[in-house]
Amino acid sequence: MPFGRGNTPSKVAILQLRGDFMRGLLFLLVAAAVVSWGQVAVEVGPAPECPYGYYDVAPYNCAPFGYYGPEWFTGGVFIGAGPWFHGAADFKGHVDNHFHPDHGYKGAMPQRGEKADPAKHIESAHFKGNEVRDGRGHVAGKK
């Protein structure tokens, strides 16, 4: 037993336990400081250059014409989605998730850097979205 006579702790044993405790506490404090200093920020780089917007989930591939409704564009320019979204905090916009690969879409998709076809313009009266999303990639409701 680590204690002296009669199973009572001796001064030496108490000092040893106290020293072990302090070393352990010091180790935890140093480890916590290293972890907090080691936090890193992840930069996602520039937004994908896509003619009709890009999906709001990695790998942020270009979305085809018809996926995003008209409220996702200002003056014909996509307002962004996911980490590059720059619309209002309470923004909600319509999408047609039939044009999303996670919902079975296997049709043509534009490549990054392609230019939009000027003849393709989405008007509110003709858009047939089936889902409402916020700009950060969350489903906000069904149409």
Please state whether the predicted TM-score (pTM) of the whole model is above 0.75: no
Measured between its terminal Cα atoms, the distance across the chain in Å is 73
What pLDDT does 14 receive?
A: 59
Residue 57: CA count within 13 A, CB half-sphere: 7
C-beta separation of 98 from 130 below 8 A: yes
Distance of CA 47 to the CA centre of its chain: 14
How far CA 69 is from CA of 13, 15, 47, 79, 130, in Å, comes to 74, 72, 19, 11, 10
Kindly report, residue by residue over 59-70, the tens digit of the pLDDT. 999 999 999 999
Comparing 34 with 116, the larger pLDDT belongs to: 116
Per residue in 31-53, pLDDT (tens digit) is: 554 444 555 555 668 999 999 99
